Chains A and B, each alone.
Chain A
C-alpha cells in the first residue's frame, strides 16, 4: 500500500535560514509520481513540483530545491534563505501508476518563518 510520511509536524526558523522538509514514501509500484504542494493561510494548495520515478535528477527553482533519492524512498524539499512569505503548510504527495491513480498526501509540515 502507498504511504507518505512527513515526520516533521512543525518547523520554526528565522528569516534567511535554510530549511529542509522531509518526505519519505512507500510504494510497490515502479512507476509513480511525487509532488510537493504549499498551502498558505488562504487555504488553496499551490503546486510546487512534480517528479516521476524515473527521473532522479535534483531540481532547483529559485530558492527552492528538491532532492529525490529512490534508494531511501525520500523526496526532500529545501528552502534556501527562507522568507516570511514561505510560512505555510507543505504537503508531499505520491501517486502510483496503478490502483486508480489515487494521490496520497502526507500529513503536512507547518513552517513558521519569523522575521
Chain B
C-alpha cells in the first residue's frame, strides 16, 4: 500500500515569491492534515480536512497561507508571499478518521526562503 506522497521534497525560493506544496494521502483516508515543523521542534498543526471540508484551520496564518482539498483526496498548501520565517518542513499526514486513528505522515517538503 502506498504511503502519503508529497512533492516537491525540497524547494528554495526568494522571499516574497509564492510557493505551493502538494499532498496525496493514503487511499481511503478521509482526514488530511498539514503540519509545520521548525528545526528542532515537533510538528504543529496548520489545518485539518475531513473530506473536502477544512474543520480546523485555527493555526493557519490566513493572510499568506491557503489550502484546498477540492475533491476530498489530494491537497495543496500555498504560501503567498513567502517570508524568511516560513523556512521549515511542511508535513502532510492522513488518517481514516480524526479521533482514534493513527496519523500517517509523508516525507515532507523542506522549504528554504532566501
Contacts and interface: CB of A to CB of B under 8 A. Distances in A.
A55 interface: no
Interface in A64-115: 91, 93, 95, 97, 100-108
Interface residues of B, number: 24
A102 B98 CA distance: 9
Interface in B73-112: 89, 91, 93, 98-100, 102-108, 110
A11 B7 CA distance: 32
Nearest to A110: B40
Contact of A45 (B56, B91, B98, B110): B91
SS class, residues of chain B in contact with chain A = loop
B12 to A, nearest CB: 16
B13 interface: no
Interface string A32-64: 010101000011111100101000000000000
A44 B104 CA distance: 9
Contact of B89 (A43, A101, A103): A43
Contact of A105 (B42, B102, B107): B42
Contacts of B102: 35, 47, 50
Given A43-B108, A45-B105, A107 B41 contact: yes
A100 B55 contact: yes
Contacts of B40: 107-108
Interface of A: 4, 33, 35, 37, 42-47, 50, 52, 91, 93, 95, 97, 100-108
25 contacts: A4-B42, A33-B100, A37-B105, A43-B89, A43-B107, A43-B108, A43-B110, A44-B3, A44-B106, A44-B108, A45-B43, A45-B91, A45-B105, A46-B105, A47-B102, A47-B105, A50-B102, A91-B43, A95-B99, A97-B99, A100-B55, A102-B56, A105-B42, A106-B42, A108-B40
